[in-house]
Structure 1
Amino acid sequence: MSACPAPHWPARMWIALLVFSGVILLDGLDISMIAVAIPEIQREFGISAATAQWFVGAYILAFGGFLLLGGRCADLFGRRRVLVAGLAVFALVSVFGAFADDAFLLIVSRFVKGMAAGFTGPAAMSLLATTFAEGPQRNRAFGIFNLFEASGYSSGLLIGGLLAALDWRYIFILPIPIAVLLLLAALRFLPPDPPRTGRMRLDIGGAAALVAGMLLLVFTLVSAEEAGWASLRTIGGFALSALLLAGFLAIERSARQPLVRLGIFSNRRLVAANASAAFLYGGAMGFQFLIALYLQNLQGWKPWQMALVLLPAGLMVVLIGPRIGALIERFGVTRVLLAGLAAFIPCYLLMLRIGPEPDLWTVLLPASVLWGVGFALSISALMVAGTSGVADHEQGLAAGLLNSSLQVGGACGLAVVTAAIAPGTQLAMLYPGVGVILAFAVLTLLAQLIRDRRDALPRTSATARS
């Protein structure tokens, strides 16, 4: 295969891309590093496991709840301005969390960091989409961007395990210099936001209904296993979040300057990309959870040993990520996306073969390689598909939608897998969870195949008429 010639970017564009990619790397690190430190934090503060899980849950709750608002604010008030403000809050709250001497204050700091990430993530992604022209340049840029994202998630497990062995507070200290460096680079190298034309007003009623609905939805998903799926709190939470989100849609239909222009959902590629993103992350989060249960709980492995099993996945991302633009130009975004999504099916099928003794060479490492290939191909292709054909002034909204689909899908997938596995320490308890992530992989692929079929129907009809 002959690769497409790499676009020649001036140094300033490379620095801008590194800033955008650094932001998403920071988000990935901050989510995955804390997961391996929870037992140490739990012992120091003397808190229950249910409370300790909110060190992760609070971040995901705020991140998922504020992504759409963050994306739209970037469109309305300036992407660079929102990015810089979010990074400043992220750095300051990281300092607060590093020295917190109370578990509740630590959870609050995680919530505020997640909220800041809900603004920086879509701002960085929409800046990338508006800095690099649609086509080969943007395809290649997204490949590098998602290389950093996947590297953050995968390396965070290893880095977090090593830092937690020294002192868990180092996990809260490490993001501070990274956030400050990104903040200074954004101020120095990113061009100022263009002057706003006309009066830009934030849809306050829509924003309140959206944030409340998203926060309640993610909270209900994250806490459903603890409260019980049939409990009044869980059922009421889902019902109330549905009412709030329905109210949000009603407000958007009549708002003069809506937070989310509902017409954007006429873009079939964007809708299919969001559906696939939700199912993909649901399966991916479930896969990581099941691997952790199998290796750490059942086999007694250390977190860093588990991270080494997932290292081939990270290597696949490193190898494929920079070449994703050439692959998309050669084969088209649809074929690359379908190939990536299809790789998850044999990956999860291999998980059905896990046994009492870990089988590195024929089960775990091949599954890790397939997972990395699927992630590298599909995430970048989804970002390209989800932002193609979207006007520049709505790129922040499109980025917020994609990121919201990823986070809510991940929370939903984790909640469903947790509910599916039987309590106990027997190997058989994991197999229903594997069935769930396998179903997610099939649904991820079907969302794209249905969209491709629908897109082909008008062309077939037109050909018949002619």
Structure 2
Amino acid sequence: MTLSTNARSTAPAPAGDRWTPALWGLLFVLAGNMLIDALEVSVSLVALPSIGGDLGLPAAQLQWVVSGFAAGFGPLLLFGGRVVAILGRRPVYLAALVVFAAASLVSALAQGPELLVATRFVKGFCAALTAPTGLAIILSAFPEGPARSRAVSVYSLFGACGFATGLLVSGLLTEAGWRWTFAFPAPVALLLFLAGLRLVPADDPGRAKPRRYDLAGAVSLTATTLLLVYALTSGPLDGWDHPRTIGAFALAALSALAHVRVERTAREPLLRLELLRHPALVRSALGAAALNGSYLGLLLLSTLHLQQRAGLGPLQTGLAFLPASAPLVLSALFSGRMAARFGTGRLIAAGAGAALLGALLYPGDAPADLRYATDVLPTMLLFGAAFVLAFAAFHLQATTAVPAGRQAEASGLYQTAVQLGAALATALTAALYTEFGHRPALLLVTAVALAGLLVALPGLRRAH
């Protein structure tokens, strides 16, 4: 195994468990990028009330800041993998870092919601290019055995740290101005790019690669997602019976049908629909979408509650959310052992149950005289427990449900579902909050968590 230290030269792979400085550098470039990808959602969540106040946006439009990133990430994840396979890991990875940095600066300077949301979508697509590619580079650059296992653990740990880091960074920076929360990833991404120029290895020139991008499949899935989010945004603002709202729902349905047709007839589809014949994979995708959707829907609702109703500042809000994300950081290195000890089906069901209980315990009347220890902390701890129990188990169940040669494709489908759950749940939560208030939006979050539990229960009858 070799590692490129610049575009053309190579450095020897480590012997046994010994790592070269170049391998350490490569790992921290990849893991650092994974961290800034993971924190993109949390940095925007805490800043939402400040953004809304500055740009004059209601919650139904404000949610685009969150769902825009998810809509660029999820629907384009499989397409991003295809782009990387055709053009090569190194050039695509490095280009995505530069575009990510540029989009961060533009979003910080945006004077209106349209440009801000557009840059969030672009950054989501950059994450769709780099997040899975980083892991693929690790698997090719690090020799099988302890070195690779340790590298994957570090990479996963940085990903788990990203959301919690974003809460703290956003809380601090939003106190000075929400635009700083969008600007600060730019210099980080540029530093990673400069290091990556020397450390990211070139692809094997003899590798097999697909011939077609399946652009129609990518466009139709992305259009379906954006149209659904737009329809959910239009409902409370224009009316659910407004031609614009009805038309968006109709176009979304047509786009979804077009996507299915394209994938069934394409010579090299992004997604082979026969994967959906594996029940465990489908349960993992739907269950993870429900968990992520209910979690982000609750945090969106809680952000508005804590800052607009209870009077907390951005930093206090970020700290209030830490119990929902920090436990995953602390347990990330032990998730594989937990799955081996208890089984993925049991962990997923327990996690789904914890999320549902957390949603049920959150106050439905949005009190102004908030008592954090009794009104908010139990919910945050339960959602934190849900992710500790189920997050890694979902992915393991999804990838082990299919033959070995199709695990990468199954992982892409699973990750797509996770991001789609985030985009649609936050959009619908914001729509209900705008039109009907806190309690109906919380009921939706609870219903999504309940759906996740119902999806998880059949897994208790099967061993994985």
Query: Shorter-chain TM-score: what band?
Result: 0.7 to 0.9
Deviation, structure 1 residue 156:
2.0
Deviation, structure 1 residue 281:
1.6
Name the CA distance, whole Å, in 1 between partners of 2:442 and 2:146. 37
Deviation, structure 1 residue 306:
1.6
Indicate which of 171, 184, 188 corresponds to 1:178. Answer: 188
Deviation, structure 1 residue 372:
0.9
Deviation, structure 1 residue 87:
1.7
Q: Report the equivalent of 1:319.
A: 330
Q: Report the equivalent of 1:435.
A: 443
Secondary structure of the structure 1 residue equivalent to 2:240: coil
Name the CA distance, whole Å, in 2 between partners of 1:422 and 1:296. 16
Secondary structure of the structure 2 residue equivalent to 1:310: helix
Q: Report the equivalent of 1:280.
A: 291
Contact in 2 for aligned 1:139/1:328 (Cα 8 Å): no
Length, aligned pairs only: 444
- 1:65-80 to structure 2, matched below 5 A, reads 65-80=75-90
Q: Report the equivalent of 1:247.
A: 258
Contact in 2 for aligned 1:129/1:387 (Cα 8 Å): no
Q: Report the equivalent of 2:228.
A: 217
Counterpart residue identity of residue 32, structure 1: S
Give the 3 Å change call, closer, same or farther, for CA 354–365 of structure 1 in structure 2.
farther
Unaligned runs of 5+ in 2: 1-15
Give the 3 Å change call, closer, same or farther, for CA 268–157 of structure 1 in structure 2.
same
Deviation, structure 1 residue 89:
1.4
Q: Report the equivalent of 2:237.
A: 226
Task: Map Cα deviations across residues 364-386 of structure 1 (whole Å, 9 max, x no partner).
Answer: 22221111111122222222222
Task: Map Cα deviations across residues 379-421 of structure 1 (whole Å, 9 max, x no partner).
Answer: 2222222233556775554343223212221222223333444
Contact in 2 for aligned 1:59/1:113 (Cα 8 Å): yes
Percent pairwise identity? 37
Counterpart residue identity of residue 248, structure 1: H
Deviation, structure 1 residue 284:
0.7
Task: Map Cα deviations across residues 229-272 of structure 1 (whole Å, 9 max, x no partner).
Answer: 33322222222122222222222222222222222223332211
Indicate which of 106, 113, 120 corresponds to 2:130. Answer: 120
Q: Does 1:336 align with 2:347?
A: yes
Q: Does 1:157 align with 2:139?
A: no
Q: Report the equivalent of 2:390.
A: 378
Q: Does 1:28 align with 2:16?
A: no
Counterpart residue identity of residue 259, structure 2: F
Counterpart residue identity of residue 361, structure 1: A
Name the CA distance, whole Å, in 2 between partners of 1:131 and 1:264. 29
Give the 3 Å change call, closer, same or farther, for CA 264–33 of structure 1 in structure 2.
same
Give the 3 Å change call, closer, same or farther, for CA 359–169 of structure 1 in structure 2.
closer
Give the 3 Å change call, closer, same or farther, for CA 140–273 of structure 1 in structure 2.
farther
Contact in 1 for aligned 2:17/2:146 (Cα 8 Å): no
Name the CA distance, whole Å, in 1 between partners of 2:174 and 2:138. 34
Name the CA distance, whole Å, in 1 between partners of 2:290 and 2:112. 36
After TM superposition, the score normalised by the length of structure 1 is 0.81
Contact in 1 for aligned 2:271/2:413 (Cα 8 Å): no
Deviation, structure 1 residue 282:
1.7
Name the CA distance, whole Å, in 1 between partners of 2:340 and 2:156. 17
Secondary structure of the structure 2 residue equivalent to 1:280: helix
Q: Does 1:417 align with 2:419?
A: no
Counterpart residue identity of residue 188, structure 2: I
Give the 3 Å change call, closer, same or farther, for CA 413–138 of structure 1 in structure 2.
farther
- 1:8-157 to structure 2, matched below 5 A, reads 11=19, 18-38=28-48, 40=50, 47-49=56-58, 54-99=64-109, 104-124=114-134, 145=155, 147-157=157-167
Task: Map Cα deviations across residues 173-206 of structure 1 (whole Å, 9 max, x no partner).
Answer: 3101221233345444444333333662222333
Contact in 1 for aligned 2:284/2:398 (Cα 8 Å): yes
Give the 3 Å change call, closer, same or farther, for CA 175–90 of structure 1 in structure 2.
same
Deviation, structure 1 residue 33:
1.9
Deviation, structure 1 residue 344:
1.0
Counterpart residue identity of residue 229, structure 1: W
Give the 3 Å change call, closer, same or farther, for CA 79–308 of structure 1 in structure 2.
same
Secondary structure of the structure 2 residue equivalent to 1:217: helix
Secondary structure of the structure 1 residue equivalent to 2:267: coil
Indicate which of 230, 233, 238 corresponds to 2:249. Answer: 238
Superposed CA RMSD in Å reads: 3.6
Contact in 2 for aligned 1:130/1:392 (Cα 8 Å): no
Deviation, structure 1 residue 276:
0.7
Give the 3 Å change call, closer, same or farther, for CA 207–103 of structure 1 in structure 2.
closer
After TM superposition, the score normalised by the length of structure 2 is 0.81
Q: Report the equivalent of 1:398.
A: 410
Name the CA distance, whole Å, in 2 between partners of 1:132 and 1:445. 38
Give the 3 Å change call, closer, same or farther, for CA 435–126 of structure 1 in structure 2.
farther
- 1:196-215 to structure 2, matched below 5 A, reads 196-197=207-208, 200-215=211-226
Contact in 2 for aligned 1:74/1:396 (Cα 8 Å): no
Task: Map Cα deviations across residues 323-374 of structure 1 (whole Å, 9 max, x no partner).
Answer: 2122122222322322222221221221147773323333422221111111
Counterpart residue identity of residue 296, structure 1: Q
Name the CA distance, whole Å, in 2 between partners of 1:260 and 1:390. 14
Contact in 2 for aligned 1:125/1:396 (Cα 8 Å): no
Name the CA distance, whole Å, in 1 between partners of 2:435 and 2:438. 10
Name the CA distance, whole Å, in 1 between partners of 2:289 and 2:321. 22
Counterpart residue identity of residue 193, structure 2: L
Name the CA distance, whole Å, in 2 between partners of 1:437 and 1:140. 37
Task: Map Cα deviations across residues 83-121 of structure 1 (whole Å, 9 max, x no partner).
Answer: 333222112332344455666544433332233223223
Contact in 2 for aligned 1:64/1:218 (Cα 8 Å): no
Secondary structure of the structure 2 residue equivalent to 1:201: coil
Contact in 2 for aligned 1:278/1:407 (Cα 8 Å): yes
Give the 3 Å change call, closer, same or farther, for CA 450–231 of structure 1 in structure 2.
farther
